[in-house]
Chain A
Amino acid sequence: MTVNELVEKCGFKAVSMPRPEREIDGCYIGDLLSWVMGRAQEDSVWITIMSNINIIAVATLTDVSCIILAEGVTVDSEIIKVALEKGVNILLSDKRTYETAVAVHELI
């Protein structure tokens, strides 16, 4: 499953998708950044409600395949600009965190 396929099948909105062909393997959920740094695996989907600029560095350093902002959380256009530059995929989900994770789980 690639990030692009995940978007098509789950109806998430891609606000930054510089690397649509990235493979997805696993999922990590969390909003505390150093937990994510310690636990998220490479190629995972990272589901969070944190939408500040620091999530870009966290996603880059942990090598997650994409960030999904759940619960209808949105993200500033400046952050999207940085994400595009740094090659970080960001998707938006209107679903709750749990439902978002379940939708991801059904596909991977």
Chain B
Amino acid sequence: MSESLTFHYDVDGEDFTSAGQASVQVKKNLRRLGIAPEIIRQVSIAMYEGEINMVIHAGGGKADVIVSEDKIEIILADHGPGIADIELAMQEGYSTAPDSVRSLGFGAGMGLPNMKRYMDEMTIDSTVGVGTTIKMTVYLNR
């Protein structure tokens, strides 16, 4: 595979029942490409956490997964409220999730820490009132 391959997903902010479907689809696509199972697991879990965050905290957004020879990149972009204090948001246990989603099992404040742990690199670019873009990378053949 010499050229990169991009998978694009629109993440619906309204439909909670289908949340996570982009991640499940990414998992399938990576399997078809013959990516190592452990990498697939890391990428799809990180993607899920980001996807769910866009649904819960930002009213939806867009996700791009770019697969190239040496790495997989995930770019999650939304036009939600933004994150005022990124350092605080990254702390385990910090959550502003409403009760309605806590009763479904979300809101432990572990999503962003999981994303960081499962991926090799992660950057968060966020402006209050404008939106959030998260870029995550995992390197292949290490």
Contact = CB atoms under 8 A, between A and B. Distances in A.
B20 A57 contact: yes
Contact of A54 (B20, B41, B109, B113): B20
Q: Chain A: interface secondary structure?
A: helix
A62 interface: yes
Given A57-B20, A60-B24, A38 B41 contact: no
Contacts, number: 67
Contacts of A42: 37, 41
A35 B108 contact: yes
Interface residues of B, number: 25
Interface in B74-110: 104-110
Interface residues of A, number: 20
B76 to A, nearest CB: 16
A50 B106 CA distance: 11
B114 interface: yes
A61 interface: yes
B61 interface: no
Contact of B24 (A34, A38, A57): A57
Interface in B6-24: 16-17, 19-21, 23-24
B137 interface: no
Interface of A: 31-35, 37-38, 42, 50, 52-55, 57-58, 60-63, 86
Q: Which 3 A-B pairs have the closest CB atoms?
A: A57-B20, A34-B110, A32-B108
